Each structure stands twice: as structure tokens, then as C-alpha cells.
Structure 1
Amino acid sequence: MTTSSSGTGGAQPVPSGFAVSERTAHLRAETALFMRDHVLSLVSHDLRGPLNAIHSWAYVLERKLDANDPNAQRAVTGIRSGVDQQVKLLETIVDATRAETRSLALAYAPFPLHPLLDETTEEVRSGLARSRSVNIAVDSQLATEQLNGDRERLAAALWVMLAFAVEASAEGAAVTLAARADSGTWHAAVTYQSNETALNDPALPHVLEPFARKQAGEPREAKRIAWVFALCKRVAEAHGGSFEQSDASGDDAATLALRVPLSATAPK
């Protein structure tokens, strides 16, 4: 079954006093929480390599120095002590802070997929797209397929994908959500024409954090996602699936892709 629906008509003025629903506010907070913990995870990972190297070179340096020179020995001891303090900070502050999303509890239950698409799309339409004059079209090949997983978590992941695509789209642009199920897997892909000016224009309504939108436009290392999609990646992987972000290339649209097994189970 293929359906297509439209969220906006012609250009509409940005409403004064733009407000979001209680659910949108909740999803916005969830997005920020996962983003914070994702950044802390990157900090923990990226700092440990250099710190380990400094620690190792301190031992090499110690063997080269005069054992009878108290100043040299004190300097090496200070280097090792400083490294140990930084590692302890990573363990007690960074790792402990991100524990809430690192162990993601899921409420597994079977649910139909097509209503999930409709409800989440309407949330983004009413909460953002209409005020931005951005159209959301749904191209669904789903019929009665069900997924065994955490509906609320998956809805949040889909919301982030759609909300970002709308924020990154110019007035009058179209965002497409395509969904299908095959070989026991649910595929949801959001495509859009990325517009950095629209993404960061403070005069336009936004539901995502300014620094997250700004970071999303910066160059990324291979296979690393923009911070704002941390929730999408974490929820997908917790269900044994995956999330991918593909930037626009030439005339091609940017793509956000979520893949989750229909009979999802937590990865071992």
C-alpha cells in the first residue's frame, strides 16, 4: 500500500510566540539527553588514546633520565600523576554521567508500524513543519506489518529524523519519509534537500538545540554521525538494528536511514 500526504499548503508566515506541544517538548529533551551522553562518549574515547600514549612515553622518558636527578624524576612523576588524574575524571564524571543512556531499557511489545508513521509525522507537521512551510510526504509500502520492540523509543528516533530534516529544509521544500518491510526488517528513510541557512536561521521556528544544529553542518569523520542523531543510533542499535546518515552529494538529497528487525531483540 502506497500513500502520500501533505502537511502544508502555500507559504505561511512564521507565527509569533511559536510554541510546542508537551510531547514535542518531551522529545526535544530526550534528544538533548542522548546528544549530551553521545558527546561525553566521544570525549571519553578520544581522550583515552592520547592519555595512554603520554603515560607510556613517560615510562620511556624515565628510563632515559638520570635516576639521581631529583628534578627530572619529579617531572616524570608529575606527568604520570596528571595522566592518572585525567583518567579518573573520565571514569568518575564522564562515564558515570552517560550511564543513563548507555544501558537503554526497552519495553518490548508487538505494535503495527503504519500508525506509528502517521502519528509521528503528524506530530512533526503540527509542531514544526506547518510553521516552516515545509511539506512532509509519506511513501509507505507497509500494510499490516508489526514490529516487536519499544514503540515509544522508535517513535522518538523517527521524530528526530523528521524534525531535523524539516529544520534543514528551506521554505516550500519537501521532506519525504519512505517506509517498507522486507526480509524481516523495517526500513525507514527520510530524504531532504539540506539548506544550512534554513537550519541555523534564528528568525525561523526551531525545536532542536542551536549548538546541535550548528555542529550538524560541520565536517564529520568517516562513519560518525552528527551529535543530534545520537538518540536514533542508540535506539536502533538497542533493537539490533542500525542508523545511517548520508550527506547530500551534488544534486542528490541527504538521507537518514533507520533499519530495525521486525522481531527485534537486544544485541548480545
Structure 2
Amino acid sequence: MTTSSTGTTGAQPAPSGFAVSERTAHLCAETALFMRDHVLSLVSHDLRGPLNAIHSWAYVLERKLDANDPNAQRAVTGIRNGVDQQVKLLETIVDATRAETRSLALAYASFPLHPLLDETVEDVRTGLARSRQVEIALDSQLGTEQLNGDRARLVAALWLMLTFTVEASTEGATVTLATRADATAWHATVTYDSNLAALSDPAVPHLLEAFARKQAGEPREAKRIAWVFALCKRVAEAHGGSFEQIDASESEAARLALRIPLSATVPK
């Protein structure tokens, strides 16, 4: 079954008068929480490599330096102690902060996919798209397919994909959500014309944090996602699926791609 619909547009309110529903505020808070955990994970991972290297080179220097030179020995000891202090900070502050949210609990249940799409698209239209005068087109190849997974988590992931693409779109633009299911998985791809200026334009309403929007416009290392999509990645992987952020090229628009097994299970 193929359906196609677009959101209507209306007068854009001033950002100061932009009303946010309780549901939207909750989804924004979840997005920020997952982004915080993602950043902490990156900090923990990226700092350990250089710290290990410094620690190793300190031992090399110690063997090269004069054992009878107290200043040299004190300097090497200071380097090693400094590294140990940094590692302890990572373990007691960064890793401990993430401990309770490192594993994502899922509430499994079987549910039809199409109502989830309609509900989420309408939430984003009402919550931001109409105010930004951005249309959302739904191109669905779904019929009566059902998925066994955490519906609320998947709604949050799809909501974030659509909300970000609206944030990154100019007035009059169209964001397209194409969705289908094959024998094993549900696929949802959001295609949009990314405009970095729209992400930071103070004259239009925004839902996502300014810090998240700014970082999303910066160059990314290979295979790393923008921090704001941490929720999408965590939810997808917890279901045994995947999330991809594909930048625009000369021949293709930017895309966000979510793949979730129809019979999702927690990866071992």
C-alpha cells in the first residue's frame, strides 16, 4: 500500500511565543539526556588513548634519564601521577555518571507500524513543522506489518529524525519520510535538503538545544554521528538494528536511515 500526504503550513509565530507541549518537552529532554551520555562516552574513549600513550612514554623516559638526577625523576613521577589522576577522574565521574544508562531497557510488545508513523508525523507537524512552514511528506509502502519492540522508544527515535530535519530545513522546504518493510526488518529513511543556517537562525522557532544544533553542523569523523542523534543510535542498536547519518553529496540529498528487525531482540 502506498500513501502520500503533506503537512499544511500556517503563519509562523515569533520564537518568543512558541508553545511546546508536555509530550514534546519530554522528547526534547530525552534527546538531551542521550546526547549527554553519548558525549561522556566519547570523552572517556578518546581520552584513554592519549593518556595510555603518555603513561607508556613516561616509562621510556624514566629508563633514558639519569637515575641520580632527582629533578628528572620527580618530573617523570609527576607525569605518571597526573595520568593516573586523569584516569581516576574518568572512572569516578564520567563512567560512573553513565553507569545507570549504559544499558537501555526495552518494553517489548507487538504493534502495527502504520499508526506509529501517522502519530509521529502529526506530532512533528504540530510541534514544529507548521511553525517553520516546512512540509513533511510520508511515502509509505507499509500495509499491516507489525513489529515486536519498544514502541515508545521507536517513536522517540523517529520523532527526533523528523524534528532535526525540520530544524535543518528552510521555509517552504519538504522533508520526506519513506518507509517500508521487507521479510526481516522495518526501514525508515528521512531525506532532506540540509541548510546549516536554518539550524542556528534565531528568527525561527527551535526545539533542540542550541549546542546540539551547532555541533551537528560541524565536520564529523568517518562513521560518527552528530551527537544529537545519540538517542536514535542507542534505540536502534538496543533493538538489534542500525542508524545511519548520510551527508548530502552532489547527486543526493542528506538522509537519516533507521533499520529495525521486525522481531527485535536485544543484541548479545
- Normalised TM-score (structure 2): 0.97
Residue 180 of structure 1 corresponds to: 180
Residue 81 of structure 1 corresponds to: 81
Unaligned stretches of 5+ residues in structure 2: none
2-structure distance, mates of 1:202, 1:263 = 43
Q: 1:202 Cα shift?
A: 1.0
What is the CA deviation profile of residues 63-111 of structure 1, one whole-angstrom value per residue up to 9, with x for unaligned ones? 1111121111111111101000000100111111122331111111111
Spell out the pairing of 1:45-60 with structure 2 (5 A cutoff). Answer: 45-60=45-60
Residue 160 of structure 1 corresponds to: 160
Deviating 4+ runs (over 4 angstroms):
none
1-structure distance, mates of 2:120, 2:95 = 32
Residue 41 of structure 1 corresponds to: 41
Unaligned stretches of 5+ residues in structure 1: none
Residue 143 of structure 1 corresponds to: 143
1:193 aligned onto 2:193 = yes
1:144 partner letter: T
Residue 209 of structure 2 corresponds to: 209
SS in 2 for 1:163: helix
Spell out the pairing of 1:1-268 with structure 2 (5 A cutoff). Answer: 1-9=1-9, 12-15=11-14, 17-268=17-268
2-structure distance, mates of 1:96, 1:173 = 43
SS in 2 for 1:147: strand
**Paired positions, count:** 267
Q: 1:205 Cα shift?
A: 0.5
- Normalised TM-score (structure 1): 0.97
Contact 2:12 2:130 in 1 (8 A): no
RMSD: 1.0
Q: 1:252 Cα shift?
A: 2.0
Q: 1:251 Cα shift?
A: 4.8
Query: What is the identity percentage for the equivalent residue pairs of Structure 1 and Structure 2?
Result: 84
